[in-house]
């Protein structure tokens, strides 16, 4: 077990990539705190994972844009488990719109959830990890933070910001034994993607054709990389952004 008895917080964990990461961490011996704004769904997901793996799993409701709620999650995790070894900042949203059609409300919403949420959870957790002098922080960026994509000005800007934030966090926290890295998924088969741009078989095939491996990503593909970055196998890696896209970027 790569994460035996480690304590992990995963945000945006009610479904999709976050759920896959939480489940894989539990399968590898971790105790996982799942966080999501969807109260019923995150509690049901936590219960499902606990039943499947036999590891204590907790589902907590949180709005990642509210510092008091974020701090409460950290306090509750410490109350339950006494430490925090891993943080995965996965909570995020995607909205498709041309720049001319993007209003301030949409822009602010995407930045608040994707970037501010990552900042707030990292700040809340890093003080704990600094005292422990150990920890792994994994931030979910995107290939859209590496390349331009039509109708993703706000989303792409947030994902590029996460890469920059990750690098600074790695510099600041490295002396305390904390690794901070980002994952940049390509098109991954989740409800969020299905509801935004993979809206027809033709569009799906276009994205598949862009990849070297000729398939969409699966949540488990991203979870495996998150497992690696959370484990001791990645102890000498920090400040990096790992692209997990089936070679999608090579087709640009």
Residue 109 within a domain: yes
- Is residue 197's pLDDT more than 90? no
Q: What is the pLDDT of residues 42-76, one digit of tens each?
A: 999 999 999 999 999 999 999 999 999 999 999 99
Do the domain assignments include residue 160?
yes
Q: What is the pLDDT of residues 67-109, one digit of tens each?
A: 999 999 999 999 999 999 999 999 999 999 999 999 999 999 9
Residue 41 has pLDDT above 60, yes or no: yes
Q: Are the C-beta atoms of 195 and 217 separated by less than 8 Å?
A: no
Number of alpha helices (DSSP H) and beta strands (DSSP E) in the chain: 9, 7
Q: Cα(146)–Cα(160) distance, rounded to whole angstroms?
A: 7
C-alpha to C-alpha distance for 113 and 107, rounded to whole angstroms: 10
| Average pLDDT of the chain to the nearest whole number | 96
Residue 24 falls inside a structural domain: yes
**Domain contains 192:** no
Q: How many domains does the chain have?
A: 1
CATH number at residue 182: 3.40.50.720
pLDDT at 252: 52
Region 137-141: mean pLDDT is 98
Q: Does 208 map to a domain?
A: no
In a domain, 61, yes or no: yes
Q: Does residue 242 sit within a domain? A: yes
Share of the chain above pLDDT 90, in %: 88
Residue pair 32/109 in contact by the 8 Å Cβ criterion: no
Name the residue range of residue 12's domain: 7-186+218-246
Q: Which of 25, 31, 155, 176 is catalytic?
A: 155
Residue 31 known to be catalytic = no
Residue 206 lies in a domain: no
Note the pLDDT of residue 251: 55
Element (H, E) at 31: strand 31-36
**pLDDT tens, position by position, 206-221:** 888 989 999 999 999 9
């Amino acid at each position: 077990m790569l994460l035996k008895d480690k304590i992990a917080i995963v945000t945006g964990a009610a479904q999709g990539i976050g759920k896959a990461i939480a489940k894989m961490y539990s399968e590898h011996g971790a105790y996982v705190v799942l966080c999501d704004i969807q109260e019923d769904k995150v509690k049901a997901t936590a219960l499902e994972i606990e039943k499947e793996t036999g590891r204590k799993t907790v589902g907590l409701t949180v709005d990642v844009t509210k510092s008091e709620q974020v701090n409460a999650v950290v306090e509750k995790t410490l109350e339950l488990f006494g430490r925090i070894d891993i943080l995965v900042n996965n909570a995020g949203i995607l909205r498709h719109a041309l720049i001319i059609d993007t209003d301030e409300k949409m822009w602010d919403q995407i930045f608040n959830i994707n970037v501010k949420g990552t900042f707030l959870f990292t700040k809340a957790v890093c003080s704990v990890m600094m005292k422990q002098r150990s920890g792994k922080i994994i931030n979910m960026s995107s290939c859209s933070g590496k390349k331009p994509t039509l109708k993703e000005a706000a989303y792409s800007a947030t994902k590029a910001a996460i890469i920059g934030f990750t690098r600074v966090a790695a510099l600041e926290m490295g002396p305390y034994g904390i690794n901070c890295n980002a994952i940049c998924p390509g098109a991954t088969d989740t409800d969020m993607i299905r509801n935004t741009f993979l809206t027809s078989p033709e569009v799906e095939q276009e994205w598949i054709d862009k990849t070297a491996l000729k398939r969409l990503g699966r949540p488990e593909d991203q979870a495996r990389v998150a497992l690696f970055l959370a484990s001791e196998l990645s102890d000498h890696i920090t400040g990096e952004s790992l692209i997990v896209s089936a070679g999608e970027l090579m087709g640009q």
